[in-house]
Structure 1
Amino acid sequence: MSDLLTGLTSGVHATARVHVATTTWTYDELLGAAAAAGPLLAPYRRVAVHATPSATTVLAVVGAVLAGVEVVPVPPDAGRSELAHLLTDSAAEAWAGPVPDDRVSGLPVVDLDLGAHACHEPRDVAEDATAMVVYTSGTTGLPKGVVLSRRAVAAGLDALAGAWDWDASDTLAHGLPLFHVHGLVLGVLGALRLGCGLLHVGKPTPAAYADAVRSGATVLFGVPTLWSRIAGSPDDAAALRPARLLVSGSAPLPAPVFDRLRELSGHGVVERYGMSETLVTLATRADAEPRAGWVGVPVAGVATRLRDEDGHPVPHDGESVGQLEVRGPSLLEGYLGRPDADAEAWTADGWFRTGDVAVVDPDGWHRIVGRASVDLIKSGGYRIGAGEVETVLLGHAAVAEVAVVGVPDPDLGQRVVAHVVLRDGYAAGDALAAELVAHVGTELNGHKRPREVRFVAGLPRTALGKVQKAALSAG
């Protein structure tokens, strides 16, 4: 029998509260509403959820999980083609909770009552049963459905709780989207499995996070864009001092932001690494000293290794770049209906190819350089990690944001190009470009210097703050 949400269903955390938008539940109230939703959802094998940052999304997901029904979180801003693909590919049989009329697509809609109450009757659900199908986009092709079992979700959450000393005494606050693993699995199911309070702040602003801590939040989840904004708001950053743990994920946290937040809030922000396919596999432990640009060590049960393009081991010397492969209990069951993608993702000896490149130091700390497809630059016979060049450039006073890519070059194969967003007060020009190139050459090996600096007004990003480098590397 698989009970993912043991903290919610155990009935021992009477003081925990779940606050989302304008709705606040006690654990008993949320459990009662989810129990009432269960019989309405149980006739369906798999349901889609219009995953807005709302109480109805939380109720739909919790109700489905308790009923043993598979969940397909659908981004509320999905375009027509993407929406049609998600619903068709997943074979979702109904919508759980409200959905705009133009998105129904012929599926029945199961109405859920936020204030309903029924007695929770535990269901016998196999541990290897699917908990959810989360869609993830690669650089090419339509999004793929990542099949996550209940066992994998439980293992991932428990390992993360161990790494961060995260338990029922905490209150988690965040403003993350609820259609993604970061916000939905870690940020909602994690809290309910551990039995701690949960506060979704709505729009993730510095003031909202400061207010969350004033309301008793002890653990904060955010993405680098949010942390950067907090670092630029000294009063709000200072208000975070009473918190226990600040966590950043979904993209690398720039070192200057890390340093500024430590100065203002007294906290070294903890970074972690994961994917929809693996959940969180690496984390800076709560009892370790955070290091800017490093995402920590494998969580319990997870093993990692680095390989070069020919499959040979890459040394753990803190400098050598290799393709990151992982294995452990929190990994996906496979891609829904995509045996071709499964075959490409797994090695013959059972390791999952993350598609990311990294370095590992002798103590086992990992630094993610980026995606192998866009962040491993092969220039003049050298293998260069875009992330290390970006980190150095972000240390220059003129640079607010940067994305480094490799673009085709007839002589070098690829040349290193830096797309730079300047801070206020700095003017783009050849002199500054030369200064930035020289700055990289001073800090890193000469072959890692950008061959070109392009000054831009902004960088294309996803909803979670990840830079869309494919659009940049084509130029």
Structure 2
Amino acid sequence: MSPLFPALVARAERPALRFGDRTLTHAELADAAGSLAARIAGARRIAVWATPTLGTAVAVVAALLAGVPVVPVNPRSGERELAHVVADSAPELVVTEPGVVLPPALAALDRVDVVDIVDVEAGGAPAAVASGASGPSVLFPEHAPESPALIVYTSGTTGPPKGAVLPRRALTATLDALEDAWRWTADDVLVHALPLFHVHGLILGILGPLRRGGSVRHLGRFDIEGVTRELSSGATMLFGVPTMYHRIAEALPGDPALAEALSGARLLVSGSAALPVHDHRRIAAATGRRVIERYGMTETLMNTSVRADGEPRAGTVGVPLRGVGLRLVDESGDTIEAYDGETVGEIQVRGANLFTEYLNRPDATEAAFTDGWFRTGDMAIRDPDGYVRIVGRKATDLIKSGGYKIGAGEIENVLLEHPGVREAAVTGEPDADLGERIVAWIVPARVEAPPSAEELADHVAAQLAAHKRPRTVRYLDALPRNDMGKIMKRALHG
């Protein structure tokens, strides 16, 4: 079997990881992670307190080398959610940066601290990375493709979070498909500031560069200055979520250095939620570069993307990645054959990129599949050339009003094009006449002068159709969002 991280095996001297002033080459990471892998080898399962730090990255790589399934734990989890994750996954130990005070749910576990591993300024060699470890260790042999690599917990919007068991072949399938779609090479330098307990920030943003033999510079936290600095000093790719790109779009008119830095990037990638069309346009107008979007889930990793050599069409998530089967299915379970840009169906996928099961939940695992296809719960249409346009979640974003099936996403994009709207979300509410009425939740650009409900309804009707106009408009100071910037629509209610 080929290695998961060829550059570690080759002990490449190129930079691999940089967090602040802490940097490791691939060779140094091989020693550091190998040392920690020796300490945790044989464990049934471990947790990693997934702060946005070098220690987290080293810990996850070490677990992958040792063949020990790792549970990345969100440091911002509440007590109840954290207790559920720990009880459900039953890790034998927890790995963390030194000095961290762990909450009670984790404090009872055996603990391994990832200590400073390289004195970069002194040019020191890697030291032992774990308390109790005796020194650097050789890399471990490769493990079976079906063996579990990560257990990543879902957001738990419909109940307690479920642990999606991701095998090693899902990691390699997704990362190698993105190599093809994004022309990703060892020469690429990625910059991002995403959390390391989710698929986007950890698997794509850390393991992706390591598999390619390139490097990643993590900002710790998102800020415009950091993005400008890194893209102006050798970084070629930027990963972000819509909230980050919105802040970039807002800053661009008064920040020529940011515009120049973005214009030199090879690839700007947005994910985790739809990037509003008006932000696409503002960034493209200021930089000449277009943001591309991809579509994935915890259970499936990446399913589709706009290709680096394809048309970066705003409002779409591109085409299925190499090796991914994708179909749209109607309410009767029949496959929608029409690529007409109109017919809405649920996305179902299959391929090597999928998870194997929900941990300890055979019932939920069985319910998630139909004839080998994973039921994503996302609703979409397909353009004649195969591009996928997601219109929302089946549970919260498919609105049945007056006999029509309406996707909330397309209405949100049109609302965001109105100059008086800063943020927008669309939901459906019961209506005695229509079945459901369309409700728009608006954060106005100017609090003192919000656009009227009639103005917004006319704006949507003119761009889409009369039956897609909002019947009710509610004004907010901000939309509720999770750690990845996704709008939490279940928190929106009249």
SS at match of 1:295: coil
Counterpart in the other structure of 1:324: 347
Q: Confirm or deny: 8 A CA contact 2:16 2:213 kept in the other structure.
A: no
Q: Confirm or deny: 8 A CA contact 1:33 1:113 kept in the other structure.
A: no
Counterpart in the other structure of 1:87: 86
1:128 to partner: Cα distance: 0.8
Q: Deviations over 1:126-168 (max 9, x none)?
A: 1110001000024221000000000111111000111000010
Matched AA of 2:160: L
CA distance in 1, matches of 2:455, 2:488: 26
- 1:111 corresponds, among 110, 113, 127, to 113
Matched AA of 2:461: G
CA distance in 1, matches of 2:386, 2:7: 32
SS at match of 1:232: helix
Q: Aligned pair 1:403/2:425, yes or no? A: yes
Q: Deviations over 1:187-211 (max 9, x none)?
A: 0011101100110011111221111
Q: Aligned pair 1:242/2:273, yes or no? A: no
Q: Aligned pair 1:218/2:236, yes or no? A: yes
Counterpart in the other structure of 2:71: 72
CA distance in 2, matches of 1:376, 1:141: 20
CA distance in 1, matches of 2:140, 2:57: 19
SS at match of 1:157: helix
1:22 to partner: Cα distance: 3.3
User: Which stretch has the larger CA shift, 73-82 or 99-108?
Assistant: 99-108
1:456 to partner: Cα distance: 1.2
Counterpart in the other structure of 2:133: none
Q: Confirm or deny: 8 A CA contact 1:2 1:150 kept in the other structure.
A: no
Counterpart in the other structure of 2:454: 434
Q: Aligned pair 1:209/2:227, yes or no? A: yes
1:313 to partner: Cα distance: 2.6
Q: Deviations over 1:292-315 (max 9, x none)?
A: 110100010001111111112332
Q: Deviations over 1:283-337 (max 9, x none)?
A: 0000012011101000100011111111123322111111111111100001111
CA distance in 2, matches of 1:392, 1:229: 19
1:37-186 matches, within 5 Å, as 37-98=36-97, 99-103=100-104, 104-115=106-117, 116=127, 118-186=136-204
Q: Confirm or deny: 8 A CA contact 1:14 1:27 kept in the other structure.
A: yes
1:265 to partner: Cα distance: 1.6
1:362 to partner: Cα distance: 1.4
SS at match of 1:239: helix
Counterpart in the other structure of 2:373: 351
Q: Confirm or deny: 8 A CA contact 2:47 2:91 kept in the other structure.
A: yes
Q: Deviations over 1:33-60 (max 9, x none)?
A: 1111111111312100000000111111
CA distance in 1, matches of 2:483, 2:193: 12
Change (3 A) 1:350 1:102: closer
SS at match of 2:294: strand
1:425 to partner: Cα distance: 6.9
Q: Aligned pair 1:270/2:292, yes or no? A: yes
1:385-424 matches, within 5 Å, as 385-424=407-446
Question: How well do the aligned residues superpose, as a CA RMSD in angstroms?
Answer: 1.4
1:426 to partner: Cα distance: 5.9
CA distance in 2, matches of 1:102, 1:444: 50
Q: Aligned pair 1:188/2:210, yes or no? A: no
Q: Confirm or deny: 8 A CA contact 1:325 1:352 kept in the other structure.
A: yes
CA distance in 2, matches of 1:204, 1:128: 35
Q: Aligned pair 1:449/2:469, yes or no? A: yes
1:464 to partner: Cα distance: 0.5
CA distance in 2, matches of 1:294, 1:177: 24
CA distance in 2, matches of 1:328, 1:101: 38
SS at match of 1:392: helix
Matched AA of 1:14: E
Equivalent pairs counted in the alignment come to 470
TM-score by length of 1: 0.96
SS at match of 1:374: coil
Matched AA of 2:398: L
- 2:331 corresponds, among 291, 296, 309, to 309
Q: Deviations over 1:91-139 (max 9, x none)?
A: 1110023452434341100123331252423324211100010000242
Q: Percent identity?
A: 51
SS at match of 2:395: helix
Q: Confirm or deny: 8 A CA contact 2:152 2:198 kept in the other structure.
A: yes
CA distance in 2, matches of 1:437, 1:456: 17
